[in-house]
Chains A and B, each alone.
Chain A
Amino acid sequence: MSEILVLCEHRRGALREVSFELLALGRRLAGGERAVCALLLGHGAAVLGEKLCAAADRVLLVEDAGLDAYDAEPYLAALEAVILARRPALLLVAHSAVGMDLAPALAARAGLPLVTDCLDVQLAQGALEVVRRELAGKVGARLRLAAAGTHLVTVRPGCFPAAPQGGKAAAVERLPAPDRGSRRGRRLLGYADLALGDVDISAAPVLVAVGRGVGKPENLAAVESFARAVGATLCCSRPVADKGWLPKSRQVGTSGSVVKPKLYLAFGISGAYQHVAGMRQAETIIAVNKDPSAPIFEVAHYGIAADMFEVLPALQARLTRAS
């Protein structure tokens, strides 16, 4: 039976956690009948390949100076060649900043059917079924994919427990580097890290987080004064930082900070998965949102379906009252 390929992501010399999640998913889908191959594109990446050995039947290594860091054109050329040569049943890619950039272009270039941002994937008698979310996470969708030789699937990070690292079980196999011709004009120049803000939100034991539900910047004062009164640090979800109402350094989520406080109080946050990925490890999460079907209530321990501006003063009074 044809194999399952897992594209393993790395950045600045380290494998990304999601690669091990995809390998665990690949192992489950293989059901002992198919080989699971960890596919690593890089330059001097054999040391990373060794970390993948326990989680894969084979580690496939494509090495070239142009593959040192993710760069769309050399990656596309390398992946297209690997797919043509091996015809895997499935190529699993993370729905990450790399996967979102790469997978749709690869699908178009190699003529592969693509399904993105999957929360679950099933492979039964060769038929591929996936579970996705639509409409800001409020609706689930089960999709059955039309039969095809190779399916390309991107998987949401954080949906599967990671496979173990290290081990020596699998063999590392080197594949030829891609042809360097016919590349379209895109060049990676480097990385830049956003400056840290005035406060390190990832160090705060109690966080008060505010989202789109705050409505307008004038309303932020009510949340700020609540946070001050209860001794919490203020942070936010993406829309609040996008609008410039709070600095980007206060943003919790995939593209901002991952936080693990003792207590996370979320006000007016709907619970986009990019935000949830940044706060789901909080010890206790209490969410306030006037929409009872907001996805934040899937991850919160306690939920209050009410107007945040009614909850803020009432809760502040309760918390600051001498006990």
Chain B
Amino acid sequence: MNTIVCVKLVPEVADAELVLLEDGSDIEREDLVLDINEWDSFAVEEAVRLKEAHGGEVTAVTLGDDDAEDVLRRALAMGADRAVRIDAAAFAGTDAMGIARGLAAAIRGRPFDLVLAGAQAADDGWAAVGPMLAQLLALPYATLVVGIEVAGGKVRVERELESSCREKVELDLPALLTVQTGINQPRYVSVMGIRKARAIAIEQSAAGALGLGEGGPRASCVAGRRLFLPEKGKGAQMLSGSMEAICGRAAEIIRERVGGVK
């Protein structure tokens, strides 16, 4: 059971005060902490569990700059055997399809039974690369997967639908799955564990060597992009003052609305 798992390094934005660049092309990224995309950590854990159950190897692949090697080291520390980085420089400004082409070129030719990816990335949230990659690799696929069972050259999965409903799907292997959060509990890896993973060489894969033609990897369906910060607390009346005053007012509101509690 050889699994390739696609991973991405993303900024952590919970509790961060985000600032836009003056031209609205991006946010200020310098002070943001980077970490593995949350969905991808579940995908890596799933890949490692499949290896533990069925044998084989796990290869982590990312498309990113030098810093993105951190996400590969995390995957290695979690139990991946190999890591491949596609240099992102040639892909600047590309869209989901461009990213999928880069990943497809790096994956093609490697032996695998399964490709796993996070259902979406926490930063731009397109949720598009996984199914696109499946098309480029001519694989059956399923998205938003919350349960995986491999047996007899097939994989049975559960997809998470709306309203506590799940869809059961069977796929022939090799296949591609995108993983939803909560499918497992990703194992903890220590800083020491990540440091140890430095001993494993990361394979470099340049866009030029991947033979990407057709408009080049920079092609995008997006012609213009301008960011804005949504108005803070728009809609909510923010309660301010001392903690005592805030909670006094909140208690009044609660009493008004539900006639007191208990």
Contact = CB atoms under 8 A, between A and B. Distances in A.
Interface string A124-165: 000000001111111111111111100000000000000000
Given A101-B142, A241-B182, A138 B230 contact: yes
B170 A97 contact: no
26 contacts: A11-B165, A72-B141, A72-B142, A100-B144, A104-B128, A114-B97, A115-B222, A134-B125, A139-B228, A142-B228, A147-B223, A184-B140, A190-B168, A193-B164, A194-B164, A194-B165, A206-B261, A230-B254, A243-B185, A244-B185, A256-B163, A257-B163, A265-B254, A301-B235, A306-B243, A311-B250
B27 to A, nearest CB: 6
B152 interface: no
B123 interface: yes
Contacts of B172: 184-186
A302 B161 contact: no
Q: Which of B27, B158, B159 has the most CB of A within 10 A?
A: B159
A323 B247 contact: no
Contact of A136 (B13, B141, B254): B13
A145 B96 CA distance: 13
Contacts of B160: 97, 255
A214 to B, nearest CB: 13
Contacts of B11: 135
Given A107-B128, A139-B18, A141-B227, A148 B246 contact: no
Interface stretch (B48-56, B67-75, B130-138): B130-138
Size band of the A side of the interface? 35 or more
Interface residues of B, number: 90
Contacts of B248: 318
Interface of B: 11, 13-18, 20, 27, 95-97, 100, 119-120, 122-132, 134-136, 138-144, 156, 158-172, 175, 181-182, 185, 220-230, 232-239, 243-244, 246-248, 250-251, 253-255, 257-258, 260-262
B233 A298 contact: yes
Given A188-B169, A284-B257, 13 more contacts: A101-B144, A104-B127, A105-B132, A140-B228, A141-B226, A141-B228, A145-B223, A148-B221, A270-B14, A284-B258, A298-B233, A300-B236, A301-B236
